[in-house]
Amino acid sequence: MPRRLLAVLAVLLAVLLRPAVGDEGMYPITELSKLNLKAKGLQIPVSEIYDPKGTGTSLIEAIVHLGGCSASFVSPDGLIITNHHCVFGAVSAASSVQNDYLTNGFLAPARGDEIPARGMTARITEEMRDVSAQVLGAVKPDMDPLARAKAIDDRIAGLTKEAQAELPGKTIGISEMLAGQSYLMFISTTYRDVRLVYVPPRSIGEFGGEDDNWVWPRHTGDFSFVRAYAGKDGRPADYSADNVPYHPRRFLKVNPNGANEEDFVFILGYPGRTYRHQSSYYLAYEEQHRMPHVADLNQWQIETMEELGKGDRAIALKFDSRIKGLANTMKNYRGKLDGMRKLGLTAARRDEEAALQKFIEADPGRRAAYGTVLADTAKIYDEMAARFQYEMALDSLASMSTLLRAASTVVEAAGGAKPAAPAPGRGSANLFAAYHEPAEVRFLQKLAEMAGRLPQGQRIAPIDERFGGDFSAENVRRHVEAGVAAATLTSQEALAAAIKQGPEAGAQSADPFIVLARDLAPLQRQLRETRQRRTAELNKLSALLIDVRQQYLKKAFIPDANSTLRFTYGRIRGYSPADAVIHKPHTTLDGVMEKTRDEAPYNTPQAVRDLARARDFGRYRLPKTNQLPVALLYNLDTTGGNSGSALMNARGELVGVNFDRAWAATINDYAWNEAYSRSIAVDIRYVLWVTAKVGKADFLLEEMGIRGNR
């Protein structure tokens, strides 16, 4: 008893004496020296992470931007670790019925067996230059917002071109850090030959699937290994059998002992987008209009496809990927809406702005400079809210109907307007991948219903004309069915043939969808121009708003995430997601077995089941509990794009691979908070255990310098 008590006491003391750590912030690498990281727990000099003047190497040279994900080098021979979901597309492309690498996993027994990861490139950020003065030098005080935005864009293009001439072979990007205030140039090298090395079976790498997405406790082995190749001269090259493994200037040391509760950890990666400095009007628009609308519409689409796919596996498979995308967004938005409601985020921001307005008006100089910023911002969002149903209907027309999307592609090729909707995945190659006529009919009915409900003054004339103004279910059904029956672009082949026929085909076709696409094009162009104008105005207003808020709050803002290299730090730490519930920061293989079923996404491979039964955890066994760690939770500030980021300990050693956030942390995009902002990594111990014991790829552990693996 006394020994046990002493042990508990030691833990207690550690907890009571622990430094308060973890802070809002995806810090630009250029700002690390301001953070006093030594006091926070970092045990290496900041110059080890990034040394602007240094001649040696620093950790950022081990950090890779891999497609939309983050990743890191873990060997001198260019071995890269990232998430399974980051290589999903490439593995899928490399798979066939005979070699189903996606389902069964993939291991290249030797370097010569590594196969190209189609479409993947590895970019390493090497240098950052502050170009704020040059960029803003293009702005004249009397410019209107559109002219101002164009001047900035032109100057950025010019600076980029100059730098490219100066630095041949480098990738140059200039990013706006604080809206209309600060700009950084990023100089990087992009390696174009990336190959698959080890990918665990999908039932490990995607364990829990869509069910567990955004969920803690999590049990997903979401990691994979790829390798960057270079020409024989060590420089970027297109794929060639003659290429050689790239030798990075720096790679991360892998720490096979992982990290424990309350350890200091940090992440270097490429977070995508956050919206922390936006006005209450933006938040209200997202909360009351855009997110609930999109979430509901996605849910409707998912339910419709699930209903149609019920009882027909082939159709269900067709819808699988589309449902997945819609569900991911829906779940993220529902999480955000839940968080906004619980936190009263919009009201709090509004209260802050009321105080801010008083602060502005208390001083004549401030009043002159910022007096109407909030009111002008409100006006833009008021306009967006007033025209919301119309704009969403136009967007949905451009995105929900496959036939209309195909038709727009032809119209666009014929010189019509570029459709406002996002591009259909990777090129139009997959446009018909999820096409199923009964679903198309339902979607078109839904679109007609949406258009039919629009208020006077916001009607979509081409749609009203189609239905003769009669939006009764019966009339809509009849018109939609007749339209679909008369459609000609109903397959990828038909679409390709139409595009091949040249611009005239599109301009002259009588296909009802091509005609409709042609009629809608001017409205979509108009909407696009409206949005450009709003963006330009908001950019100018944002610059002013951030400016005066920084004065008012007496602090320098950390720029919102914008897909550039960032640093965030904190601790391995659990949290309380709800009254009476505590979530601990580590999951274990026992939890994998608790969730295991005989069906995806919980169909754990037999090898794992056998190892779990035998409790064969090798050196990764936690001695006290005889368990194997799987995933870990920490209070760092991450968002989409941080997928695949290296999670490092106080000494900069790799202890996990970041891949998701907990449900409550979907709200991170608007606000970070110690109470609920938690991100999720796969524990390096699970990575190494799976690679060695399931993948039988001990040689990869050796390459990473892990000895005595068993």
Residues that bind a copy of itself in the complex, under the rule CB under 8 A? 1, 4-5, 8-9, 12-13, 16, 216-217, 219, 342, 574, 578-588, 590-591, 594
CB burial of residue 154 (10 Å; 0-12, 13-18, 19+)? exposed
Closest approach, Cβ 579 to a copy of itself, in A, equals 3
The nearer residue to a copy of itself, 306 or 465, going by C-beta atoms, is: 306
The nearer residue to a copy of itself, 100 or 261, going by C-beta atoms, is: 261
Closest approach, Cβ 327 to a copy of itself, in A, equals 20
Is the distance from CB of 536 to CB of 380 less than 8 angstroms? no
Q: Which two tokens stand for residue 351?
A: 């209260």
Closest approach, Cβ 586 to a copy of itself, in A, equals 6
Closest approach, Cβ 8 to a copy of itself, in A, equals 6
Closest approach, Cβ 642 to a copy of itself, in A, equals 21
| Angle ∠(46,78,58) on CA atoms, nearest 5 | 10
The nearer residue to a copy of itself, 303 or 383, going by C-beta atoms, is: 303
Question: Before 422, cis peptide (omega within 30)?
Answer: no
The nearer residue to a copy of itself, 260 or 372, going by C-beta atoms, is: 260
Closest approach, Cβ 284 to a copy of itself, in A, equals 18
Is the distance from CB of 636 to CB of 266 less than 8 angstroms? yes
The nearer residue to a copy of itself, 177 or 664, going by C-beta atoms, is: 664
Q: What gap in Å lies between CA 488 and CA 407, rounded to an integer?
A: 9
Q: Which residues contact 710 (CB under 8 A, 6 or more apart)?
A: 618, 619, 692
The nearer residue to a copy of itself, 214 or 216, going by C-beta atoms, is: 216
Q: What gap in Å lies between CA 349 and CA 57, rounded to an integer?
A: 43
The nearer residue to a copy of itself, 1 or 39, going by C-beta atoms, is: 1
The nearer residue to a copy of itself, 216 or 659, going by C-beta atoms, is: 216
Closest approach, Cβ 303 to a copy of itself, in A, equals 11
The nearer residue to a copy of itself, 45 or 344, going by C-beta atoms, is: 344
Q: Which residues contact 677 (CB under 8 A, 6 or more apart)?
A: 635, 636, 637, 661, 664, 665, 667, 668
Q: Which two tokens stand for residue 503?
A: 């611009």
Residue 508, CB half-sphere, CA atoms under 13 Å: how many?
5
Q: Which two tokens stand for residue 133?
A: 């003065």
| Angle ∠(569,570,575) on CA atoms, nearest 5 | 140
Closest approach, Cβ 567 to a copy of itself, in A, equals 27
Closest approach, Cβ 590 to a copy of itself, in A, equals 6
Smallest CA-to-CA distance from 586 within 689, 688, 682, 693 is with 682
Closest approach, Cβ 109 to a copy of itself, in A, equals 34
Distance linking the first and last C-alpha atoms of the chain? 34
For residue 129, the one-letter residue type is: R
The nearer residue to a copy of itself, 316 or 593, going by C-beta atoms, is: 593
DSSP track, 481-548: HHHHHH-S--SHHHHHHHHHT-HHHHHH---HHHHHHHHHHHHHHHHHHHHHHHHHHHHHHHHHHHHH
Closest approach, Cβ 330 to a copy of itself, in A, equals 19
The nearer residue to a copy of itself, 165 or 578, going by C-beta atoms, is: 578
Q: Which residues contact 616 (CB under 8 A, 6 or more apart)?
A: 693
Q: What gap in Å lies between CA 710 and CA 700, rounded to an integer?
A: 14
